[in-house]
Amino acid sequence: MANSKTLPKTEQISERYRDLDAWSPEEALDVLWEAQLSAVAAVRAALPGIESAVAAALPLLCGRGRLVYVGAGTSGRIAAQDGAELPPTFDWPRERLVTLMAGGDAAFTGAVEDAEDDAAAGLAAILHHGVGQGDVVIGVAASGGTPFTLAAVQEAARHGALTIGIANSPGSKLLAAAACPVLVDTGAEPIAGSTRMKAGTAQKVALNLFSTLLMLRLGRIHQGLMVDMRASNEKLRGRAMRMLQRLTSCDASAASLALENAGGNVKTAVLLLHGLDVAAARSLLSLHQGHLRAALMEIEK
């Protein structure tokens, strides 16, 4: 039997939850809710690490670098969800998004036994996708020791990629291997080893913060609005109209025409309503690396 001190914190047993199965539903829910709050609170200490990771990733992703998410099991599914939300929300190019999941696509909806232990598969996945210089690899593992994820991060680093490690256990191999380690120390789980609970919640928060700050710094958010959003359905087309009217004080007719002429791009439409033609608007945004605020300041000079 392994010494509890040698186990990752996420595998350790907490006496706090010893009689969880004997408590009333009300008591159990209250304690489980409390554990979720503690998981979110644990992210506070990780904010400097998240900020540093964004700063390191920014120059690579201002170019043609790709975002590569790596994980297994719960961690892999949470990482994949963060990546999947970037194209529709921020128009992040799908060709610059790679998700590497232990066990492949089948593991997104069901457990694939032993997949997380396959270090060779993690290495092979990096080679298969040609991950290397200019790319940003985010490995997520509650224990910080998952062989698939660790091997992928180590191989990516060998090929010149920037590596970010998000783990919930101090002193873990993933944090040591990553150029940008992000520790979210959530401690023991209410159900020992069930990292879909506290660790998973904290991972989701950390990834939300990382990707949102990254998109903010890339100019894909303006005045708290998702101005690079892809208006792919009626709800989002309505949102694009409201954003444009808010940003320019134009009427619905002018907003609709500007959006049509801008190919649905809100930032371009804003500049059209400031008197630019489509080519000039796109050129100005390109000059300022997509930052609408800087483009508007240029017009107002």
Contact 73, 113 (CB under 8 A): no
Structure tokens that stand for 188 in this block: 């023991």
Of the candidates 289, 299, 158, the residue with the CA atom closest to the CA atom of residue 228: 289
- Given the residues 11, 116, 155, 189, select the one marked as catalytic: 116
Of the candidates 141, 150, 163, 167, the residue with the CA atom closest to the CA atom of residue 68: 163
Spacing of C-alpha 121 from chain mean position: 23
- Given the residues 26, 51, 85, 113, select the one marked as catalytic: 85
Burial of residue 31 (number of CB atoms within 10 Å: 0-12, 13-18, 19+)? middle
DSSP H or E stretch at residue 98: strand 97-101
- Tell how strand 67-71 and strand 136-141 pair up: parallel
Catalytic: 116?
yes
Catalytic: 260?
no
Structure tokens that stand for 120 in this block: 């060779």
Question: What are the residue numbers of the active site?
Answer: 85, 116
